Amino acid sequence: MKAALLKRLPSPALEVEAVALAGMPHDGIEVTVEACGICGTDLHILSGSSYQPTLPFVMGHEPVGRVTHGPEALLGRRVVPSIFVGCGRCDACRSGDERLCHEGSLVTGVLGLWGGFAEKMWLHPSQPVVVPEGLSPLTAAALVDAGTTAHHAARLALTHEPWRVVVLGGGPVGFLAASILKFRGTEVTVVEPNTLRRDALAALGYDTLNHLDRANTRPSTIVVDCSGVPAAFVTALDWLPPHGCCLVVGYSEIPSMDLAVVSRKELTLRGVRSGRRDDLVAVLDLAHRQAIDIPPIATWPLEEINAAISALKSGQVAGKAVIALTGWE
Ligand SMILES: [Zn+2]
Ligand SMILES: [Zn+2]
């Protein structure tokens, strides 16, 4: 099969070449990949600042494809993976939080399991989620991780019964979080400095800001930080009112920070790591019912994956970057 291989870390690019699909267990489910999204985490892995998979490795944790080998009930079905595989025995795994497995989880396309920047891949039996009939593979790819993460963040934000939520970062996760919150009847303001992304949101009627307004013209008690930008997080803590809550979705590294602001205002910080299988199922259903807006999708063929990565790095993608493989209508 053809695959985009990660051969060293850090690495400026992936190398597209022929490689055998290896390591499929007897109960593995073979998937012929139709499309696979590219996520900010992929850029972090390439830069050597994130996960360190064993090399060579095939990244791509937002795949969608047709089952070409596996249980009869799944043969020919379009599926996406629930990307985390845990031990299956610990408390976290047994309550559906495989991503928090006490033994550490494997993550498709990120750590330990080859992903979807390839013509074929295999999944553990616990992973496939059937894509609702009629939902395009490109849309499904945009939801595998970005949609799951956004649904998880929105679900946690809604437990605070906010009348407005401020979302930092209008990339695919922030876009989808805003979209889900709007569907649930909450006012949303998205803060995004990139004009392309901000315009895409504004065109759909979202309230947007270039930067978090210290004059507090959009008061809110909940900030969902999808930006991964250290300054945005620090500003958010400064900006939140007493008893405010910051959901930390994007990963940012802050060399030093005075946490007095957290104590003095009794703020809550809550982390969000991707989401549960239920979140994936729920967001696929919302998209299938056309209840939520989907970020604009830009596609590249597998052979041009490095061009897609460059476009993402330089902020030229308004919505979701997706690698489209052949074989889908
Ligand atoms: Zn991701
Ligand atoms: Zn476990």
| CATH 3.40.50.720 domain residues, the chain | 147-271
By the 10 Å C-beta count (0-12 exposed, 13-18 middle, 19+ buried), 323 is classed as buried
The pLDDT of residue 217 is: 76
Rg (alpha carbons) of the chain, rounded to whole number: 19
| Reported pTM | 0.96
Our CA angle for 187, 168, 273, nearest 5°, is: 105
CA of 40 to the centre of ligand 1 (A): 6
Q: How many residues appear in the chain?
A: 329
What are the Cα distances from residue 227, in Å, to 62, 174, 236? 19, 8, 11
Candidate CATH numbers 3.40.50.1220, 3.40.50.720, 3.30.230.10, 3.40.50.970; the one for domain 147-271: 3.40.50.720
Does the 2-142+295-324 domain belong in CATH 3.90.180.10?
yes
Give pLDDT, residue 329: 46
As given in the structure block, the two tokens for residue 43 are 């850029």
pLDDT (tens place) for every residue of the chain, 329 residues total? 999 999 999 999 999 999 999 899 999 999 999 999 999 999 999 999 999 999 999 999 999 999 999 999 999 999 999 999 999 999 999 999 999 999 999 999 999 999 999 999 999 999 999 999 999 999 999 999 999 999 999 999 999 999 999 999 999 999 999 999 999 999 999 999 999 999 999 999 999 999 987 667 788 999 999 999 999 999 999 999 999 999 999 988 888 989 999 999 999 999 999 999 999 999 999 999 999 999 999 999 999 999 999 999 999 999 999 999 975 54
What is the pLDDT, as a whole number, of residue 326?
Answer: 74
Distance 112 CA to ligand 2 centre (A): 15
Ligand having the closest approach to the CA of 63: 1
Distance 83 CA to ligand 2 centre (A): 14
Q: How far is the CA of 250 from the centre of ligand 1 (A)?
A: 10
Which ligand sits closest to the CA of 85?
2
Contact 147, 62 (CB under 8 A): no
- Judge contact between 228 and 252, C-beta under 8 A: yes
Report pLDDT digits (tens) over 233-276. 999 999 999 999 999 999 888 889 899 999 999 999 999 999 99
State in Å: Cα 141 to ligand 1 middle: 11
**Cα separation of the two ends of the chain:** 20
pLDDT for residue 225: 97
pLDDT recorded at residue 319: 96
What are the C-alpha distances in Å from 250 to residues 185, 204, 247? 24, 23, 9
